[in-house]
Amino acid sequence: MPPTTGTLGPGTAVTIGAYDGVHLGHRALLRDLCERALAAGLSSVVVTFDRHPAYVVRPESAPRQLTSLEQKLELLAECGVDRTLVVPFDDERANETAEDFVKEVLVDELSARLVVVGEDFHFGHGRKGNVALLRELGGRWGFEVVGVGLTDDGTEPVSSTRIRALLAAGDVEGAARLLGRPHEVRGPVVRGDGRGGPELGFPTANLEIPQDIALPADGVYAGHFRRADGSLHRAAVNVGRRPTFYEPDTAPVLVEAYLLHFDGDLYGEPSRVSFAHRLRDEQRFDSVEDLIAQMHQDVAEAERMLAGADLP
């Protein structure tokens, strides 16, 4: 049986999807699901996957993820759903017909009585399943299907794809508006090249971020650093390849956070960094002295932009 969170009652109201980012569009659909479930006396269930299906069916073009599975489950729980069912997605699942998926997961596993999905929802081998097919199968197996229109922010639908594009452009404020929160990445603090403190005077916490997680465009940001103990610190964050010291074409992308007014050892801690404002592009400096002077300006600007702001 796939891993789950929460507890089921008799009969369920279900939604299905990758739910990457659990953004405002997702949250609107989940509110609808929970309201319908409550009115019908059903348990609300989200069916999602242990990885984005694209990593199996088209790995060469799979999108970077806005959330890890752990973070996604936390965000879904915050939305008030009774249970999340995490379905392993592998080659066998990718080749499963839409009808078999519905019978196995929705009917046999969840005893679905109501299914709520976006009107553009597709599923099953070759994405041949859609809302029309769900309604046909619902008539056969005894569940109602509701297709919900996409949430619009006044210009265009809110989507994970759109949020990824904003991050790729460095627009972390635009991404936060659609997510309903600042974009956050997670990882342990690892040792870097040791240059930040002794040479530059700005010791940084270097986070090891999984390669499938979406990062903002290379640049310097004002943001927040959350430690394993829950404490939150304002920070200046560099995302990039450190072109003053390395060739950008060959250097890996690093996430380095300088915690304002902090002195301590963070190595090995599972940590989180969220991005509030973009300060500037990453750039190459002619000398270390020029870089240090700019870093002083960056830290002052980060402190100014974060002062008085509500903490995430």
User: Which residues are annotated as catalytic?
Assistant: 256
What 3-state class would DSSP assign to 56?
helix
Q: Tell me which DSSP letter residue 230 carries.
A: S
The label of the residue with tokens 């297709």 reads 147
Q: Are 205 and 271 in contact (CB under 8 A)?
A: yes
DSSP assignments along 172-205, one per residue: HHHHHHHHTS--EEEEEEE---S-TTTTTS---E
Pair 117, 147: CB distance under 8 Å: yes
**232 - beta bridge partners?**
226
Q: Where are the beta strands (DSSP E) in the chain?
A: 4-6, 12-16, 43-49, 83-87, 112-118, 144-148, 184-190, 205-207, 219-226, 232-240, 254-259, 270-281
Structural Rg of the chain based on CA atoms: 22
Residue that has been written with the tokens 């902090």 in this structure: 262
Pairing of the two strands 184-190 and 205-207: antiparallel
Pair 267, 237: CB distance under 8 Å: no
- State how beta strands 4-6 and 83-87 pair: antiparallel
